A and B are shown apart, each in its own frame.
Chain A
Amino acid sequence: AIQLTQSPSSLSASVGDRVTITCRASQGISSALAWYQQKPGKAPKLLIYDASSLESGVPSRFSGSGSGTDFTLTISSLQPEDFATYYCQQFNSYQLTFGGGTKVEIK
């Protein structure tokens, strides 16, 4: 199965900061990557699909980039509601896999 390695596993940031999370795949997955946001006790919410396409209703401060094996989720100006855990997911193969998650905490 394709492994996804997210970094960092956690970070502390302030409101207004620019935040970048990376996701590296163990083999090339083209652009078959999604990013999710999850808050405690809630189901994940889709933010980005096809590596860089913004899901409907998601604020434009979220953006995704990358292809092949290296991907990035960027939050351009962190808002209070953005403190959560973020996961990447690949769907290049039928054995879908998720990254280990990145917890974004308040500094």
Chain B
Amino acid sequence: QVQLVESGGGLVKPGGSLRLSCAASGFTFSDYYMSWIRQAPGKGLEWVSYISSSGSTIYYADSVKGRFTISRDNAKNSLYLQMNSLRAEDTAVYYCARPRLDMFSGSPNDAFDIWGQGTMVTVSS
């Protein structure tokens, strides 16, 4: 079945780095734009970053620009988020998410119909 599975979360000190991974299965990963979305404990959802199907177009939220890097490996059906210079306010559950439509069917911007289970990132000394 269609599935996204995140990994790589954990406890890291302020200023540290972490790399998150998202393994996709059950669909043609290379046909979809992908996003990372996060949720701080007890808070709402915040979109973090977006990457086009080929990786040629990338956008970031202002809160992570210059510190986080999104990438993908279509041969491995995997999405990544490299997080550097981490701050306490980056503490959150990080979800990867797939839009409802593939790159051939609609706009790159769309609602997300497939979400991973999330991976927790805690930034604390």
* A98 B108 Cβ-Cβ under 8 A: no
* A95 B111 Cβ-Cβ under 8 A: no
Among B107, B109, B112, which residue has its beta carbon within 8 angstroms of that of A46? B112
Q: Tell me the minimal C-beta distance from A76 to chain B in angstroms.
A: 21
Q: Interface residue count for B (Cβ, 8 Å)? A: 22
Q: Secondary structure at chain A's binding surface: helix, strand, loop or mixed?
A: loop
Number of A-B contacts (CB under 8 A): 57
* A43 B111 Cβ-Cβ under 8 A: no
Whether B35 is near chain A, meaning CB under 8 Å from some CB there, is yes
Whether A89 is near chain B, meaning CB under 8 Å from some CB there, is yes
| Distance in angstroms between the alpha carbons of A1 and B116 in the assembled complex | 25
* A89 B109 Cβ-Cβ under 8 A: no
* B95 A91 Cβ-Cβ under 8 A: no
Q: Tell me the minimal C-beta distance from B22 to chain A in angstroms.
A: 12
* B44 A100 Cβ-Cβ under 8 A: yes
Among A49, A89, A92, A95, which residue has its beta carbon within 8 angstroms of that of B45? A89
Q: Tell me the minimal C-beta distance from B101 to chain A in angstroms.
A: 9
Whether A62 is near chain B, meaning CB under 8 Å from some CB there, is no
Instruction: List the 6 closest A-B pairs by CB distance, nearest first.
Output: A34-B111, A43-B115, A49-B111, A91-B109, A96-B47, A98-B45
